[in-house]
Amino acid sequence: MRLIRTWRDVQAEADRAVVAVGNFDGVHEGHRAVIGGAVDAARTADAPAGILTFEPHPRTWFRPEQDPFRLTPLRSKVRQIEALGLDLLYVLPFDEAMATRTAEAFVEDILIGGLQIGHVVVGYDFVFGKGRTGSVETLQGYSEAGRFGLTVVPAVDDGTGASYSSTRIRGALRDGDPATAAALLGRYWEIEGHVLPGDRRGRTIGFPTANLDIGDYLRPRFGVYAVLIALDDPDCAETVWLPGVANLGKRPTIGDDKVLLEVNIFDFDSDIYGRLARVRLVDYVRPETKFDGLDALKAQIAKDAAAARRIIAALPAGRR
């Protein structure tokens, strides 16, 4: 998959591509229906299949003071999209010029004049342009005029009568319900980042941890989780998932105010500082709690680890 960060001077191999347009935060099952529509249309037309998205997320640009909300920051989003059979990924900067561009200018300048898109694929509720004045109806007008083909993907029912949405996934994670989030995503939700050097306090109480700063990721409910963790290994073609238990939060017993994800990997003792790690939240064990000293904390971590081992051992083989 080729990553393209501009809409100007696009190379010939991208000409007349079929492109799904949207933010796709989470790359959930509804998003995958839109992306799958682009892949199918591209294969039928013998054209490149692509995605057009924006960075930073427009909500971050318009409301920079809000709490982190991303389900898939760019590196994670690229990883998820790359597995879906796309040829092209356009990541366009969302800046003042993009934010103030009218819907018509977006279509004329970027989709038609710059990217020379042959076919556009969007979800039923897609809006765009200054003031969110562009809609599916706007695109339909251009399509009817023969400027490009258009596919509008309807809402995808999750089997309960509700549609897949990033908002529902965020709500589930904030409620401490990673199982519901996983059902909507079609996979476990992950936090990806480099393992940080820590104070090694966990090692002194018998539970060494791999610590990750969760950066721009949404803050799920603080507490203890059963997790699976994979460490980036260029020498291994297959991703290896290791079981563990993690605390996500501010470590009230220690008195730290920084939000960290601390993962104790079961039956593992290697130096992994600086390694890129992916941590999947499997299930919620308990809320974050302040304990009366390290001995009480150590006893509780042992109970948490035992609970996490049971949860992961009970997973079907294909989910571990």
DSSP state string for 252-315: TTTT--S-EEEEEETT-----TT-EEEEEEEEEEEE----SSHHHHHHHHHHHHHHHHHHHHTS
Average pLDDT over residues 256-270: 89
Res 142: pLDDT:
97
Average pLDDT over the chain reads 91
Res 203: pLDDT:
57
| pLDDT beyond 80 at 198 | no
| pLDDT beyond 70 at 283 | yes
Amino acid identity of 67? Answer: D
Q: What is the pLDDT of residues 97-144, one digit of tens each?
A: 999 999 999 999 999 999 999 999 999 999 999 999 999 999 999 999
Res 291: pLDDT:
80
| pLDDT beyond 70 at 252 | no
| pLDDT beyond 60 at 18 | yes
The confidence band for 298, taking pLDDT boundaries of 50, 70 and 90, is confident
Q: What is the pLDDT of residues 207-231, one digit of tens each?
A: 789 999 999 999 999 999 999 999 9
Query: Fold identical between 2-153 and 188-319?
Result: no
- Tokens encoding 295: 């001995």
- From residue 81, give the alpha-carbon distance in Å to each of 36, 37, 132: 11, 14, 25
Higher pLDDT, 257 or 316: 316
| pLDDT beyond 60 at 147 | yes
| pLDDT beyond 70 at 201 | no
Average pLDDT over residues 246-262: 81
Please name the residue that has the structure tokens 């390694």.
275
Q: 188-319 — its CATH code?
A: 2.40.30.30
Q: Which fold has domain 2-153?
A: Rossmann fold (3.40.50)
Higher pLDDT, 200 or 250: 250
Average pLDDT over residues 22-27: 96
| pLDDT beyond 90 at 192 | yes
Res 206: pLDDT:
65
Average pLDDT over residues 54-66: 93
Q: For residue 119, give the 3-state DSSP assignment.
A: strand
Q: Identify the sign of the CA torsion 254, 255, 256, 262.
A: positive
The confidence band for 233, taking pLDDT boundaries of 50, 70 and 90, is confident
Higher pLDDT, 317 or 253: 317
CB 128 within 8 A of CB 103: yes
**For residue 89, what are the β-bridge partners?**
3, 51
Average pLDDT over residues 291-317: 90
Instruction: Indicate the domain borders of the chain.
Output: 2-153, 188-319
Average pLDDT over residues 182-197: 94
Res 28: pLDDT:
96
Q: Identify the sign of the CA torsion 252, 257, 260, 262.
A: negative
